[in-house]
Amino acid sequence: MTLKSFIEVSPESDFPIQNLPFGIFSTQANPAPRVGTRIGDWVVDLSFLDGEKKFGREYGFFADSTLNRFMSAGRGAWREIRQLLTDFLTSGNFPVKKEAFIPFNEAHMHLPVAIGDYTDFYASREHATNVGIMFRGKENALMPNWLHLPVGYHGRASSVVVSGTDVIRPCGQVAPNGPPPEFVPSRSLDFELEMGFFVGKGNELGEPISIDNAREHIFGMVLLNDWSARDIQAWEYQPLGPFLAKNFASSVSPWVVTMDALEPFRVQGPKQEPAPLPYLKTDSANGYDIRLEVTLQSEKMDAPQTISRSNMKYMYWSIVQQLAHHTVTGCNMRTGDLCGTGTLSGPTEDSYGSMLELTWRGEKPIQLPNGETRRFLQNGDTVVMKGYCQGDGYRVGFGDVTGKILPAKEEVR
């Protein structure tokens, strides 16, 4: 029997009772950031319920301004609380005060997690192949290591921002025709359609997380727009990889969707050939059927235009492989660490996950409905990413992650 909440929820809503994500919110009436969950168009104040002892015991961490203490409690606690909320929202006669329910349009959302470290992977074969063809040709599209390990690099945690935060165009060195470089605002600003996952329970230094146990350490997922300044990156990335081109902003959606909510949507990922080394090998279905969409709206447009539709199920290296690889050296992950999947491109041109690919390095501009064209993002452009899993009569979604491009500081002086 399909679960149904006593609160009416549209079948098109991202937030039915099958979801129950976690986030941090505040209101004008109570400006203290605290933990909530989302059901339809309502935010459920878990701090209030905890204070009223509606869970049978007092957890204490729902009054925190981040999810970290809750996340560190481990998967047993995550499941216990999820079940309590499910029971509460399906009972219909649960004695609770109206103060526990806040209309979503009255809630201000905050960054859900205090992020200690951020690692970005490069796990989509379609994306890696497209970029490789552009810069190295078809014969050398994938680097020799790519089919053997999840390639990644260390990103900047301090500039991860919550959806709705404006993004200032970065300035940096560019050298389109070789040295000498010039210092200018980026002319090739891009989005990257990604998913991110948060580490819930960490591991001790020197103790790798095995591929079979990796899922126990992952709390949940968010949409991630890992903004990229392509021209800055082209000059700086050798030999150590991205730096200033990626450290100015990465945007995440405010609701963390738990792995238990996503469990019904696990699917087999792409076949991996050659077979991975034993520490990365797994026979279980580790992909996720998450439908993804990107829209773009310029300041002159009346409505957004969909420019990409993709799916996480295309991703070659799964999130459990990413975590197992990250820790195989004994690297200690900590509660709140964020890992990005890398750009999630699909197999068709309309499923590419970046402007770099959609316009093929600017050679094929995107035509917008009002006559404008785009090779890369311009000032005033708003990018919105959405994602959801489709169930039988319901969907489990992430809401959206939104960002608007503002002029560089250099441009407004």
- Which contiguous run of DSSP H or E holds residue 42? strand 42-45
Beta-ladder partners of 155: none
Q: Report d(CA 341, CA 112) in Å as an integer.
A: 19
Secondary structure of the chain: what % helix, strand, coil (to 5)? 25, 30, 45
Q: Where are the beta strands (DSSP E) in 298-376?
A: 305-311, 338-340, 366-367, 373-374
| Spatial CB neighbours of 81, under 8 Å, sequence gap ≥ 6 | 55, 59, 70
| Backbone angles phi and psi of 36, in degrees to 5 | -140, 165
Residue of 108, 110, 127, 154 marked catalytic: 127
Amino acid at 49: L
Amino acid at 169: R
Maximum pairwise Cα distance, the chain: 72
| Spatial CB neighbours of 95, under 8 Å, sequence gap ≥ 6 | none
Residue 180: cis peptide before it, omega within 30 degrees of 0: yes
| Structure tokens given for 329 | 């050296």
Beta-ladder partners of 252: 162, 224
Q: Are 308 and 358 in contact (CB under 8 A)?
A: yes
Total Cβ atoms within 10 A of residue 103: 10
Tell me if residue 127 is catalytic. Answer: yes
Range 81-84, long-range pairs (CB < 8 A, 24+ positions): 81/55, 82/20, 82/258, 82/260, 82/261, 84/55, 84/56
Catalytic residues: 127
